[in-house]
Structures are given as structure tokens and as C-alpha cells.
Chains A and B, each alone.
Chain A
Amino acid sequence: MATTATAVPRRWRLPYRLQVDRRLEAPRWLSPLVSLGAILVALLLGAVILEIVGGDAVAAYAHIGRAAFGNLGVFSDTLVKATPLILVGLACAVAFQMKLWNIGAEGQFFMGALGASVVVLAPIVPIEAPRWVTIPAMLVAGMAFGALWGAIPGLLKATLRVNEVITTLMLNYVAISLVNFFVFAVWSEGGFQMSPTFQRAAWLPRLADYASQVPLFRGLTTHLGLAFALVAAGVVWYILYRSLWGFEIRLVGDNPRAAHYAGVNIVRNTVLVMMLSGALAGLAGMSEISGVVHRLQTSISPGYGFTGIIIAWLAKLNPLVVAPVSVLFGGLILAGREIQPAGVPRLIQGIILFTLIASEVLLRYRVRLVRVDAEPA
């Protein structure tokens, strides 16, 4: 039966309209493509803002590129910045996979630094102990302190259903104050807000240390912590996507009631995942003081723990994507300081986060432009 067009008079409209359809399945290549597109859009928006405030966007971006990735020396510095970011990014990603909102990576980072310092300054290992004893001891202590700081909210959440957002956030301040106490009251060097410098055996080896053998490494500050971070990324990826435990983590994260029904022990997993998350953040703290500052001091983190939250989301909680995202952010932090101490780089970070989250809609829906007059018969 033929139908005539609707009799209702139409007001004038644009000849095109947006048609939004739900996607049943997104192709594999789409997700990275959309993320890349989002970053480009963010840089474009940043450029517009830079131009509006009277800056030279091209010059600014060129400078950021040069200052972060321009030569081996600055790229090495970028990697140094990226190292703690990878580890805290992993810490957040692993917890977020189970929908445990650990925003206490900052505190766990400080506890990791404290744990590593105790080994050196208490001292647990003697000053004359060789590097292969001191470093592993610091590593274990740092991870253990971080894990402990993660276990507290984990236990509270698992047994008493205390909201982990509140506890992890509050424990950040406790951890920072605890470190301050040790820095000022116990290990202060001449009243300054820093401990004495660690002995050389407690320093993570840097590439520059091997400049005598490999001249190319001269002046490169990249330290062994980067290797820890990359290994950790691999391990966390294996845990999440290939191990039995990871299956449980993802199952609980997606539907705790189904997980309980399938016989998964949610209490145990909550505590264990918070401990793993804390241990990774603790490792970041250890790597930072052992590889970069070589002493315990009050300002060891410019908010790594919070940047880690952003990184984990940008990486879509995929441990292998955390590393490249961290390098990007490491570069932004490093180069940003060169252009402006606070404004532009933060702004760009913020816009990137914004566009990436907004681009999520493209993964769930297909947006097309269709002609209005070509109505299907």
C-alpha cells in the first residue's frame, strides 16, 4: 500500500541532519584511532586558546616537542618523568578494573618512599652493603609499605563496606604527614626539610653511569626504575588478561553479584587488589627517591598519584597503553615547565582528558550525516 508523505507541514530545516546509531560491536582499530583523534582535537583546541590569549601556538607546540622529545638528552628526562607515572598509572588501572576507586596512589607513593628510606636511614641494611643487597631490600620495603597503605582501605571496604574513595583520599594526607614527620623530626639534615643523601649503593643505576663504556649514554639520567615500570606493566597485563586472578578481578569489576554467584571470594580479592595497587604506587615512590632525588624529602611528588588516575583512564585501564600515555604526560610535564610553570601544560592535559572522555561516545555510537530530503521510501 503506497503511502503519501506526512500531511503535517514542515518548517524549514538544514538539508542534513546527524543520525546517531548504537554500535553493537566496535572494530578493534577504532579505539586507538579515536583516542589519537581526540588528542589531535585537544591540541587543536589548545592552539586556539593559545592564539586567543595572544600566544604563538605553533611556536609553543614546537617548543614542547623539542623540549620533551627533541634529542636523546631531553627524551631521557621525559622518560625519567614517565617512570613514576607508569607505575602509579598501573596502580590505578588495576584497582579501577575491579571498580575499586583507589585515589590514594599519592599516599601509597609517599609510603613507598618512606619504606625505601627506612631501609637506608634506619638503617636496616648496613651502609657498606653492596648495591645488589640494598636495592632489592629497598624495593621490597617500598612495595610492602605501599601495599600496607592499600590494605587498610581494602580491609575496611571488604569487611565493613567503608567507602574506599574517602579512606584512600584521607590516607593520602596521613601518609604525607608521616613522611614530613620523619623528614623533619627523625632524619632531618641540619634542620632542612630533607634527609641526608643516601649512600651510592642505594642509588638506582643510571645510563650515565655507563658512559665510560657507551659514550652515547653521557649525561642520560634514565635510571633502572624505568625497567621496573616496564616489567610491571607486562606483569600487570598478564595478571589482568591472562591469569585466573585477573579474570576474577574483571568479573567482580563488571558485576560483583555475578562474581559472588560464580563463587569468587570478593572480600579476599578486594584486599589483594588494593594491596597490589598500593605496592605498585609504593614501587613508584621507591624508584623516585632511589633513582632521582637520592634522599627522602617533603616535595618528592608533584601530584603523581593524581596524574596516575588520569593516565589510567586515558589508557582505558589497559596496562600496556599506560606506558606510552605516561611518556606523553611526562613530556608535557617536562616541557611545560619550560614554557610556563603552571598554565599552558596543565591546560592541555585537562583538554586531552576532556576530549578523550568525550570521544568515548564515538565508540558506542555511530554518528553519520544524512541528507534530510532523501527519506527512505
Chain B
Amino acid sequence: MCWAWAGGLPLAQAWMGKLMVEHPNAAIPAVDANLAVNQNAVEMRGIVKRFPGVLANDHVDFDLRPGEIHALLGENGAGKSTLMSVLAGLYKPEAGSILLHGQPVAFNSPRDAIAHGLGMIHQHFTLVQSQSVTENVLLGLATPRFWLRLPEHDRRVADLGQRFGLSVAPQAKIWQLSVGEQQRVEILKMLYRGVQILVMDEPTAVLAPHEIEGLFATLRSMVAEGKSIVFISHKLNEVMAIADRVTVLRQGRVTAAGVRANETTIPELARLMVGRTVLFDLQKRPQAPGEVVLTVDQVCAENNKGRPALRNFSVTVRAGEIVGVAGVAGNGQAELAEVITGLRRCTSGRLLVHGLEVTNSPPRALIEQGVAHVPEDRTHVGSAPNLTITDNVIMKQYRHAPLAQGWSLNYTTAQAAAETLKTEYQILAPSVKTPARFLSGGNLQRVILARELSVRPQLLIAVQPTRGLDVGAIEGVQRLLLAQREAGAAVLLISEELEEIFALSDRIVVIYEGEVAGEVTEHDPEAIGLMMTGGKRAYAAPAGEGG
């Protein structure tokens, strides 16, 4: 099996090379449109899609060649997912036409699109948690009709997985799988349905670094078999690593159509995405750290399943210092943040804030101590979706004057405070009475940051503060963190983005399996990478299955 796709790779490359020779010019002029129709797997012309208040796609053209990985790049809300949802039959465009292999199509549903060999994998998976991998793959298919004959299909699913490097046990139940494995099941579903064109909406957003490598290998093997892939992303380095061509969307319009990835640069793409030059170098002033604010001393804690998540973890953070905690997801970072903010009990060890013992204090006591927390999960922990922006920004301060007056809460003051923060933190919303659930990821993060930073915290625990945000918003959040450092706050930055850790931290602590794997002050990615994986090789194959 293995040699089959290894042999297929150069073949496909040669074939693609031929294609390139025939059409050296990537931007196809209108005259050549008829010619291009015969070549392109997908052609979208003049797509317009409106949502209340926004023009999500404004006469967008897009084409996908057979056997290529085409990245669709853009900030959050640029219209990438909308455009691809139109393609996959989820939305109907107000105007425009879609051609599949030169044939005009109008899909009424995603099912319709899959029947034409076009499938889309969304950010939120659509899997039945209690069923097995094979059952999920078969779900909704016309055959098998009555008798499932699961073992036979298990084998087929396993074969398919092996062909594309998607190792996942067919009999495993979905709830037993990691997010990365669940994604593989989604891809298997599409492959099983014979999809030739696959759209993946931000597939790397949920993956750990080593899983991203695995995904990329799968995508390459699919392309080698002649399938075409649209890869939606806002992460520039990933796009450069995987894509053959790139189309950039900004505010519903194409700013770069099908540019060859090797003919462009990251700063150039960033400019096309954001509409202005993005500074990747943050100015960090050298600054001597002050007294110790946070001491985590030999702390142990358990995760939700009752397994040890932190093992004698120790770290200190001083005033005016950012300490970065680097590590692969799931090595105890989430538990560390929760222990420090009082959301999780520690089973042993001590926790001191300004020398005061706060081990296992309730969250409120820590809030009163000046501990701010930018949680990893914005929607489920950091905000109340149906309450207004005002309610969300006063969520931690409502007990204190001037918001509190005796037993009453002064909503006039609250609203005024919210208005101020809305301007100061550039929260884009119709009004402060808008429910939080209507805010985009970046705006919701601004609401949370406004709440946490406006109280001038002594200690800030920031977990993945820029995850899922677009380039412009990331820069803003990072500047806010640096401003806290300059204001003399102690900042513990927990992030899986090494670049972010490098850009912001004064010291870096590496966490591995709940332990301190090492501490560095030099920005040495290789040393850190080694520590993050416990000194072992970075890309260990998932347990059990052998390639």
C-alpha cells in the first residue's frame, strides 16, 4: 500500500508541471475563460452573498485546478467560509455561477454537492459521539441498507485510512478520540464518499503542532492521487508550507487571485489580508523585573478525568515581567491556569500571590487579590453569551463601588463604563446592549481583555490570548499584553504559539506532562522544541498504528 502513493507522487507532479507549462500565467484573462473551463476543477464567477448588514461575498471569482492545494486566506469575517459554504451547497448565492469540471451546477444541499464529488469539512465536526468511526463514516449513506456487516466496513475504512495516512482505529468510539483523530474521521467520511474536491475550513485551528504535520502529509497524498483541496486559513506560515496557490479575501472581495505560493512572501500576504503593513516585530522595551508576585510551589493537580495533570510544577513571576509557558497542548497548561485562578483544586503544593498564601482559595478571593484571567475558552468560560456587552464587562467588578450601591447595581454607571471601554478597546458592536453571542471572536476577546485589563491587575494569567484571531487582532492583543508588562503587572502567558511566546516573554518555562521540562531566556526554538516533546522526537506517530 505504502509504495503505491509514494510512486504516485512524482507522477502527479510531472502532470502538474505540464499544466503549468501550458498555462504559465496564473491570472487567466477573460478571453481564455472558455479554455480554462476545461481544466479547472472548480470555477466560481461573480459570487455575491449577503447576510443582514454585511455583504459577505462581493462578486468573488475563484478557481481550483485539479491536483492542487489552493489556500483561501483572509481575516475572520473576510468571507472565506461563506464563499466555500456557497460552493458546498450550504448557502445559495444571490448572484454568480459555479462550474464543476466545466459543467454549471447549482447545489441545493451539501449532500447534493457530495454527490458531485465535492465535500466540505467544517470547523465544528459533525460526528456522533457514541458511535464508532466506521458507523460515523457509513452514517447517511444509502448502502449498507439493513445489515451493517460492520467488520467488512471496518476493514474498508482501515484500508482507506492507510492509503492516505489517516491512522485511526475503525472500531473506536468518537468520544474516545482526540480532536486530531476526529478530524481524520471527518476526512475519511469524505474520502469514503468518493469526494474529488475537498474544502477544509481552518483545519489546523484545533490541532497540536505534530498533528498539523500529519494532516499536511495526508493532504499531500490526496493531491498526489489527483484530488483537489481548498484550504481555508488565516495562518500565513501554514499557507506557505502547504499551498500551491493562494487566493486572498478581504472584506468580501478578492485582493489576490490564485497567486503562486512560491512567488509571494508572508509580509506581502499579510498586507493583502489586512490592507496595511503589519509589524511583526513588537517593540519590547528592556525592563528590570520587580518583586515576585506569583509563586507556584511544587503544585500537583488532577485533570477532569482524575489523572495527574500537574506534577510538582513550580514557577515564579515578577512584576513587570512576562513569563511564557510553552508546551504542546494537553500537557497541563489548562490545569495550571485554572489552579492559579482558583477554578481547580490543587492536590498538593502551595500558591502565593504577593507572598500571601492563596492555595485553593475560591475564585473570588483571587479576583480581589488582583489576579486577572484571560481564559482559553472565550465563549464557555470567559463570557455570558446572552447577556449584554455591559453585563460582560462588569462581570468581575459589579460587587464594588461605583457599580454597587448597597444591594443595588447601578446600571447607569455600568453602561457609561462599558461605553468607555468599548471605545478604548475598539470593540466593534452596534451598542453596549448587544448580546455577547453576536460578537466575532476578535471582538469578544476585546470585551474580555477590556474587563480583565481595565482593573489594572497585579497578575495576569493569559491563556492562548490570540488563538483564532486574525493578524490585525493578534497584534492588538499582543500590544495590550506588553502594555501590562510596562505598567508593572506580572504576566503569565500560556500559549502554544512559539512565535508569540518568543515575541513577548522575558523568560520561558517549558511544560511537559505537567512538569517543568526546563527554563530558558535565550530564544532557542530547537532547545525548546526538544523540551516540549520530553527530549524525544517531535513527530511521534500516534500510538498503536504503524505506517
Q: Which of A24, A261, A264 contacts B343 (CB 8 A)?
A: A261
Could you say which residues of chain B place their CB within 8 Å of the CB of A4? 97
Q: A21-B51, A247-B409 are in contact. Are A257 and B363 (CB under 8 A)?
A: no
Segment at the interface with A among B180-188, B282-290, B326-334, B384-392: B384-392
B399 at interface, CB cutoff 8 A: yes
Q: Can you name the residue of chain A whose Cβ is closest to the Cβ of B52? A: A21
CA of A121 to CA of B341, assembled, Å: 54
Could you say which residues of chain B place their CB within 8 Å of the CB of A366? 52
| Residues of A60-113 whose CB lies within 8 A of B | none
Whether the pair A377, B408 counts as a contact (CB closer than 8 A) is no
A251 at interface, CB cutoff 8 A: yes
CA of A242 to CA of B408, assembled, Å: 6
Q: Chain A nearest CB: distance from B406 CB in Å?
A: 9
A302 at interface, CB cutoff 8 A: no
Number of A-B contacts (CB under 8 A): 106
| Residues of A235-259 whose CB lies within 8 A of B | 242-247, 250-251, 254-255, 257-259
Could you say which residues of chain A place their CB within 8 Å of the CB of B48? 376
Q: Chain B nearest CB: distance from A113 CB in Å?
A: 30
Q: Chain B nearest CB: distance from A160 CB in Å?
A: 18
Whether the pair B367, A24 counts as a contact (CB closer than 8 A) is no
Q: Can you name the residue of chain B whose Cβ is closest to the Cβ of A5? A: B97
B15 at interface, CB cutoff 8 A: no
A373 at interface, CB cutoff 8 A: no
Q: Chain B nearest CB: distance from A318 CB in Å?
A: 14
CA of A24 to CA of B429, assembled, Å: 10
Whether the pair B382, A243 counts as a contact (CB closer than 8 A) is no
A357 at interface, CB cutoff 8 A: no
Whether the pair A247, B46 counts as a contact (CB closer than 8 A) is no
Segment at the interface with A among B125-133, B236-244, B373-381, B420-428: B373-381
A3 at interface, CB cutoff 8 A: yes
- Write the A354-377 contact mask toward B (1 if CB under 8 angstroms, else 0): 000000000000100000000111
CA of A290 to CA of B343, assembled, Å: 48
B205 at interface, CB cutoff 8 A: no
B407 at interface, CB cutoff 8 A: yes
CA of A203 to CA of B218, assembled, Å: 81
23 pairs from A and B in contact (CB 8 Å cutoff): A3-B97, A6-B106, A7-B104, A24-B430, A25-B430, A25-B434, A244-B398, A244-B399, A244-B404, A246-B409, A254-B384, A257-B380, A257-B381, A258-B384, A258-B395, A260-B363, A261-B373, A263-B362, A263-B365, A263-B366, A265-B364, A376-B94, A377-B95
Q: Which of B105, B366, B386, B409 contacts A254 (CB 8 A)?
A: B386
Q: A1-B46, A25-B434, A366-B52 are in contact. Are A255 and B383 (CB under 8 A)?
A: yes
CA of A255 to CA of B94, assembled, Å: 37
| Residues of A246-287 whose CB lies within 8 A of B | 246-247, 250-251, 254-255, 257-265
Whether the pair A24, B105 counts as a contact (CB closer than 8 A) is no
Whether the pair B30, A243 counts as a contact (CB closer than 8 A) is no
Binding site for A on B (CB under 8 A): 30, 45-46, 48, 50-53, 59, 61, 94-97, 104-106, 341, 343, 362-367, 373, 375, 380-387, 391, 394-396, 398-399, 404, 407-409, 411, 430-431, 433-434, 438
Q: Which of B364, B381, B394, B431 contacts A263 (CB 8 A)?
A: B364
Whether the pair A258, B382 counts as a contact (CB closer than 8 A) is yes
Q: Chain B nearest CB: distance from A78 CB in Å?
A: 34
Could you say which residues of chain B place their CB within 8 Å of the CB of A21? 51-52
CA of A3 to CA of B61, assembled, Å: 11
Whether the pair A261, B362 counts as a contact (CB closer than 8 A) is no
Binding site for B on A (CB under 8 A): 1, 3-4, 6-8, 21-25, 242-247, 250-251, 254-255, 257-265, 366, 375-377
Whether the pair B391, A247 counts as a contact (CB closer than 8 A) is yes
CA of A262 to CA of B399, assembled, Å: 11
CA of A260 to CA of B344, assembled, Å: 11
Q: Which of B380, B396, B430 contacts A262 (CB 8 A)?
A: B396
CA of A8 to CA of B100, assembled, Å: 13
CA of A257 to CA of B383, assembled, Å: 9
CA of A375 to CA of B433, assembled, Å: 35
Q: Chain B nearest CB: distance from A24 CB in Å?
A: 6
Q: Can you name the residue of chain B whose Cβ is closest to the Cβ of A28? A: B433
Whether the pair B97, A6 counts as a contact (CB closer than 8 A) is yes
Could you say which residues of chain A place their CB within 8 Å of the CB of B381? 257-258, 261
Could you say which residues of chain A place their CB within 8 Å of the CB of B383? 255, 258
Whether the pair B382, A261 counts as a contact (CB closer than 8 A) is yes
CA of A25 to CA of B385, assembled, Å: 14
Q: A1-B45, A21-B51, A261-B343 are in contact. Are A255 and B97 (CB under 8 A)?
A: no
CA of A107 to CA of B375, assembled, Å: 42
CA of A6 to CA of B104, assembled, Å: 7
Whether the pair B106, A8 counts as a contact (CB closer than 8 A) is yes
Could you say which residues of chain B place their CB within 8 Å of the CB of A255? 380, 383-385
Q: A1-B61, A257-B380 are in contact. Are A7 and B97 (CB under 8 A)?
A: yes
Could you say which residues of chain B place their CB within 8 Å of the CB of A254? 384-387
Whether the pair A8, B104 counts as a contact (CB closer than 8 A) is yes
Could you say which residues of chain B place their CB within 8 Å of the CB of A242? 408-409, 411
Could you say which residues of chain B place their CB within 8 Å of the CB of A258? 380-384, 395
CA of A23 to CA of B434, assembled, Å: 12
Q: Can you name the residue of chain A whose Cβ is closest to the Cβ of B386? A: A254
Whether the pair A376, B95 counts as a contact (CB closer than 8 A) is yes
Whether the pair B430, A263 counts as a contact (CB closer than 8 A) is no
